[in-house]
Chains A and B, each alone.
Chain A
Amino acid sequence: MSEYNWFHMAQSQAPAALSLRLEEVIIGGLALSVLVMAALLFFLAVALRKKIISAGPLYGTGQEGAGERLREHVGKMSSFQIGELLKYRLAPFKPRLMAVVLITGLTGIFCCNGANAQTPVKSDGSSLLGEGGIIITLILVLLPVLTGLILLFFRIRKIMVRQNEQLLSEEAGSLAAYLGSLKPEDVAALERRKAALDYALTHRELSGNEPAEDTRGLLTVNSAPGLPIVAVKKKALPRPHIDPALSRLVITYLACATGWLLFGTSVGEYVGIKFVAPDIDQASWLSFGRLRPVHTNSVFWGWASLGMLGLGYYIVPRVSNVGLASIRWGWYALCLINASVAIGTICLMAGINNGGGEYREYVWPVMLLFAVGLGLTLVNFLKTIAARKTREIYISNWYMVSAIIFTIVIALVAYIPYWQNGLGETIVQGYYMHQGVGMWFMLFPLGIVYYFLPQQLNKPIYSYSLGILAFWTQILFYTLIGTHHFVFSAIPWWLQTVAIVGSAGMVIPVVAGTTNFLMTFKGAWHKVQDSYTLPFFLVGIVFYFTGSLQGTAEAFRFTNLLWHFTDFTVAHSHLTMYGIICFFLWAAIYAVVPRLTGREAPQITVGAHFWLALIGLMFYSVPLMYGGTLKGLMWMEGKPFIENVSAMMPYWLWRAIGGSLMWLSHIFFAYNMYRMIVARPAPDVRELAIRKLAERVPAEQEKA
């Protein structure tokens, strides 16, 4: 082992970088505390105003209005109050004054606290405000002032409340006197009023007097549910008749995908750690440059692709209302894709790769296995759709089948081994990698969402036409944007401009898609809290909107200047590939697997998976975006290169922490898959009892 390890690096690097950013942290903290103070003052003002307004009528009324107000009180009395009143009606009544006036203290408190309340922020020279020491001092001064303000608020509030009580007590005294002087006819009216107020239905008007019986088996009474640790969500509905052979195929796809997710993100986690501990190992097969593509390719082609295809094998026959054309071909495709990723991983670690284009690192014979797998799937899906029993082709199939066709086109363009010299390679690389993302990893999961979201919400998709608009505009604009990864490079300027314009055009399909999904939720938002799949969909939809529009923003020329080549792009790709694709896939997997196996994952581990993944993603991406921006600014200022490496160190550490949380969430996911697929459910006591009875009865009959 080398003498550099994680801690060593973290210790030797972080302080320098931290001190560099200390100023910003302090300025941020200062701004935050000022904001909090402003908010508190605002709250104080609003609360005081409310108090004064509510107290107004009590202060402002004269003697002539008093009688009317007392009569109003009597009119508003409840049945119980009337009953009580009638009980005490003839007893002698002595009004008592209980409250003590405390108002004298008020002015005094205002005076002595007022002296402290002056904000000590002076208009120093701006250069001074930038100094760390002065900022720390200001914060230290502000903290007690802030505390004083909070205390002041509560004291004032207390005084106001007491004052109010005092006034109410006086009012009650005069009301009591008035009630004591009521005439007999008033009392008779009150008795009638009480009878009217006491009137109630018998609650048997509709049901009659027969005992209730559930003759149709609609009700299940769950008595004594116990103390719930997690919120109880609805169980998956059992679905009749799913071909067991198809069910096995789909489950195997999803299980393989889970395996690649675990492998790929373990590699990713390790690669992330290497940023803070570069000498953690020095083996050639594990060096950063070789492992990075292992991570990206195995989560792309292993996890996400197999997950998508597995769900596709479930959806396509279902929405076509026929069986899958060939289950055997489905197995062939699964084997080919698994082989492609496994061989590709070994090749990359052994140093055999295609030349360094992102996501194009597998050499073409390896990628050919994947493409053949896709080809088999395409034919299978098309045959199924051709034999469909519905007239229309459901929109899910538009997206998913097109995604497969386009991906085969993309792979052919990028991998035919006879061209792409010089800049041709770069132009095709931009096209390939972005179409891979947009036409495969985006189009296909959108198809999945168009099936599972309405299913889980139990209502149709909001607008079929919006889905179709998004479909065509996605093809029109997304195809153009590949070269925005090479803005300002030597590729033709017009092509760069086309890519930027296309990126802006992506607003249309993204807004159309997001609107469609969110409007489908309309009127069914309450279902989110009952479901453990819908939160995954919701997160996916939110990132679909923000992540995609972030991509548009990144494509502009100025933002390219600032963010290109920095860790910002890494954050962006995780926000999208993870925030959108993974969350959609998880949502659909949690929706479909219980239907196939009849077993559900424990809700507590589903919850752990969800929250760890979401929080981990935030810890991962926000520091990288912030650090990436700082890096870009430092480059623009012409700082020596090595300075930004040191400056990134704390953000890389955060990234490793966030990555660890994400990785942990995948362990939970894998466990949930195990529980849904493999684990035997606890035996049903009632079923067991009946079985035992069935065994015993014939035996007893034999004896007899």
Chain B
Amino acid sequence: MKIFDDHRYLFGSATALFVGLTMLVAIMPAIHNQENNRPLPGAEELSPEAGRGKAAFVANGCVACHTQQVRNVDMDRQWGSRPGVAADYAGIRRTDFWRNTATLMGTERTGPDLTDIGNRQPSADWNLVHLFNPRIVVKESVMPAYPWLFTLKDEPAESDVVVNLPEEYLKGRKGKVVAGREALDLVAYLQSLKQVPLPDGSEAPSFLYARQKNEVQKDGEAPGGPDGKALYVANCQACHQENGEGLPGAFPPLKGSAIVTGDDLQLYVDIIMNGFDARPEYAAMAPVGTNLGWTADEVAAVINYERSSWGNSAPEVTAEEVKEVMKFIDQKIAQP
């Protein structure tokens, strides 16, 4: 065609087509979304520490492996109680004049999603140990270690946050590992990452592609019962470890534990559901069961796994017993 022999027409029309489509699929939807979404009522601004922690998260490129988006598909259910909505990100604004907005949604999930990590792993001690070297607590991990966020002191001050580590990770050096400010900020940011509940009455989008319940049960598993070992691996093992021995100075052992093998089922269930922070030598435990919305079936499965592993041999509990105890604990919390 003749008009394409004129470079002005040719490149003018190609540019017009491209810019027009850009307006339609990028600029207009982007503007519409940033103008018409507001943060959820329950959302909190980042604290100054968490804000600095987010900057450290961005600077170290954590988003290369960690997403922050719960997709509306069933397989993402483990990362949050509901799929993400536009309002979840509406409060995130441009970092500053030099740097862009960091929604940190990510495109790779080499490590776990962090949308709700503040609920899933609230323990500062665990996070600090994990940051110093992830393989101390998760031996299969391929996450980088961040020892430069910590300093080694012979006599830590009163205000210093000391991180208890197994000797071998100090590589022969003496002293106490003290968390630097950037490490504490980073942990503050991770602790702040919690999915905000939708306001009452609004319906969350549903998870699509729900998995068909497998009718054929594996050997040795009660029909319809949850897999206690899988629940343990996914939710307890990071602290209490695969061998049930915990980590000295950080996380207590379950192997031979009086609570696990003893008779006080109420205390046991209470700890699983509502957390525990009564022993100063160990880190605080998160309300794992409540965060994950565990039913009596799941709690019983975990208890039975813990009671029958690593040489523990305490009597099994039934879901009914656990249900009774859970009801009693709920009543106690409701009427303190």
- Given contacts A431-B22, A489-B105, are A641 and B112 in contact (CB under 8 A)? yes
Contacting residues, chain A, for B133 (C-beta < 8 A)? 2, 279
How far is B32's CA from A397's CA once the two chains are assembled, in angstroms?
36
Contacting residues, chain B, for A287 (C-beta < 8 A)? 60-61, 144, 146
Interface residues on B, range: 35 or more
> By the criterion CB–CB under 8 Å, are A356 and B61 in contact?
yes
Judge if B294 is at the interface, Cβ distance under 8 Å. no
> By the criterion CB–CB under 8 Å, are B101 and A425 in contact?
yes
User: Which of chain B's residues has its CB closest to A633's CB?
Assistant: B75
> By the criterion CB–CB under 8 Å, are A419 and B142 in contact?
no
Contacting residues, chain B, for A480 (C-beta < 8 A)? 21, 25
Looking at the complex, which of B8-16, B246-254, B285-293 is the stretch in contact with chain A? B8-16
Looking at the complex, which of A87-95, A259-267, A288-296 is the stretch in contact with chain B? A288-296
- With beta carbons under 8 angstroms apart, the residue of A355, A385, A488, A489 that contacts B102 is A355
- With beta carbons under 8 angstroms apart, the residue of A293, A482, A635 that contacts B25 is A482
Interface mask (A476-501 → B, CB under 8 Å = 1, otherwise 0): 10011011011111111001001100
Shortest distance from the beta carbon of A389 to any chain B beta carbon, whole Å = 13
> By the criterion CB–CB under 8 Å, are A392 and B5 in contact?
yes
Looking at the complex, which of A103-111, A128-136, A216-224, A401-409 is the stretch in contact with chain B? A401-409
Judge if A670 is at the interface, Cβ distance under 8 Å. no
Judge if B62 is at the interface, Cβ distance under 8 Å. yes
Interface mask (B275-319 → A, CB under 8 Å = 1, otherwise 0): 000000000000000000000000000000000000000000000
Judge if A360 is at the interface, Cβ distance under 8 Å. yes
Judge if B37 is at the interface, Cβ distance under 8 Å. yes
Contacting residues, chain A, for B29 (C-beta < 8 A)? 427, 491-492, 495
Judge if B73 is at the interface, Cβ distance under 8 Å. yes
- With beta carbons under 8 angstroms apart, the residue of B74, B99, B144 that contacts A282 is B144
- Given contacts A288-B61, A354-B100, A420-B100, are A428 and B30 in contact (CB under 8 A)? yes
How far is B134's CA from A107's CA once the two chains are assembled, in angstroms?
71
> By the criterion CB–CB under 8 Å, are B95 and A355 in contact?
yes
Interface mask (A357-373 → B, CB under 8 Å = 1, otherwise 0): 11011011100000000
> By the criterion CB–CB under 8 Å, are B21 and A561 in contact?
no
A 269-292 contacts with B by CB, 8 A: 274-276, 278-279, 282-284, 287-290, 292
User: Which of chain A's residues has its CB closest to B15's CB?
Assistant: A405
Interface mask (B86-127 → A, CB under 8 Å = 1, otherwise 0): 101111111101111111111111101000000000000000
Interface mask (A336-379 → B, CB under 8 Å = 1, otherwise 0): 00000000000010011111111011011100000000000000
> By the criterion CB–CB under 8 Å, are A426 and B142 in contact?
no
Judge if B196 is at the interface, Cβ distance under 8 Å. no
Contacting residues, chain A, for B147 (C-beta < 8 A)? 282
Interface mask (B1-40 → A, CB under 8 Å = 1, otherwise 0): 0001101001100110111011001110111011001000
Interface mask (B60-71 → A, CB under 8 Å = 1, otherwise 0): 111111010101
Judge if B168 is at the interface, Cβ distance under 8 Å. yes
Judge if B145 is at the interface, Cβ distance under 8 Å. yes
Query: Mostly helix, strand, loop or mixed at chain A's interface?
Result: helix
- With beta carbons under 8 angstroms apart, the residue of A357, A498, A635, A645 that contacts B142 is A645
How far is B72's CA from A420's CA once the two chains are assembled, in angstroms?
23
Contacting residues, chain B, for A422 (C-beta < 8 A)? 33-34, 37, 86, 89-93, 101, 103
Judge if A252 is at the interface, Cβ distance under 8 Å. no
> By the criterion CB–CB under 8 Å, are B105 and A486 in contact?
yes
> By the criterion CB–CB under 8 Å, are A641 and B106 in contact?
no
Judge if B258 is at the interface, Cβ distance under 8 Å. no
How far is B299's CA from A44's CA once the two chains are assembled, in angstroms?
63
> By the criterion CB–CB under 8 Å, are A292 and B61 in contact?
yes
How far is B64's CA from A348's CA once the two chains are assembled, in angstroms?
13
Shortest distance from the beta carbon of A267 to any chain B beta carbon, whole Å = 13
Contacting residues, chain A, for B84 (C-beta < 8 A)? 489-490
> By the criterion CB–CB under 8 Å, are A424 and B230 in contact?
no
Judge if A687 is at the interface, Cβ distance under 8 Å. no
> By the criterion CB–CB under 8 Å, are A409 and B21 in contact?
no
Shortest distance from the beta carbon of A600 to any chain B beta carbon, whole Å = 35
> By the criterion CB–CB under 8 Å, are B19 and A425 in contact?
no
Contacting residues, chain A, for B257 (C-beta < 8 A)? none
User: Which of chain B's residues has its CB closest to A430's CB?
Assistant: B26
Shortest distance from the beta carbon of B280 to any chain A beta carbon, whole Å = 29
Judge if B234 is at the interface, Cβ distance under 8 Å. yes
User: Which of chain B's residues has its CB closest to A637's CB?
Assistant: B211
- With beta carbons under 8 angstroms apart, the residue of B17, B60, B93, B134 that contacts A421 is B93
> By the criterion CB–CB under 8 Å, are A363 and B99 in contact?
yes
- Given contacts A421-B101, A636-B75, are A642 and B140 in contact (CB under 8 A)? yes
- Given contacts A279-B133, A422-B92, are A289 and B60 in contact (CB under 8 A)? yes
> By the criterion CB–CB under 8 Å, are A364 and B98 in contact?
yes
> By the criterion CB–CB under 8 Å, are A386 and B7 in contact?
yes
User: Which of chain A's residues has its CB closest to B145's CB?
Assistant: A282
Judge if A569 is at the interface, Cβ distance under 8 Å. yes
> By the criterion CB–CB under 8 Å, are B11 and A401 in contact?
yes
Judge if A680 is at the interface, Cβ distance under 8 Å. no
- Given contacts A289-B62, A422-B90, are A417 and B98 in contact (CB under 8 A)? yes
Judge if A4 is at the interface, Cβ distance under 8 Å. yes
- With beta carbons under 8 angstroms apart, the residue of A4, A361, A489, A640 that contacts B69 is A489
How far is B81's CA from A526's CA once the two chains are assembled, in angstroms?
62
- 30 A–B contact pairs at CB < 8 A? A275-B142, A279-B145, A287-B146, A288-B61, A289-B63, A292-B64, A355-B58, A355-B99, A358-B107, A363-B98, A385-B7, A392-B4, A401-B11, A402-B15, A406-B18, A409-B19, A418-B94, A422-B92, A422-B101, A425-B101, A427-B30, A471-B14, A480-B21, A480-B25, A488-B72, A489-B71, A490-B89, A640-B230, A642-B138, A642-B237
B interface with A by C-beta (< 8 Å): 4-5, 7, 10-11, 14-15, 17-19, 21-22, 25-27, 29-31, 33-34, 37, 58-65, 67, 69, 71-76, 78, 83-86, 88-95, 97-110, 112, 133-135, 138-148, 168, 171, 208-209, 211, 230, 233-234, 237
Knowing that A422-B37, A480-B21 touch, tell me 10 more A-B residue pairs with CB under 8 angstroms: A278-B142, A355-B95, A356-B102, A405-B15, A405-B18, A413-B22, A423-B37, A425-B101, A566-B109, A637-B211
Q: What 10 A-B pairs have minimum CB-CB distances, sorted nearest first?
A: A289-B61, A351-B59, A565-B109, A488-B71, A424-B34, A355-B102, A431-B26, A356-B63, A424-B30, A640-B234
A interface with B by C-beta (< 8 Å): 2-4, 12-13, 274-276, 278-279, 282-284, 287-290, 292-293, 348, 351-358, 360-361, 363-365, 382, 385-386, 391-393, 398, 401-402, 405-406, 409-410, 413, 415, 417-428, 431, 435, 439, 471-472, 475-476, 479-480, 482-483, 485-492, 495, 498-499, 561, 564-567, 569-570, 635-643, 645-646, 652
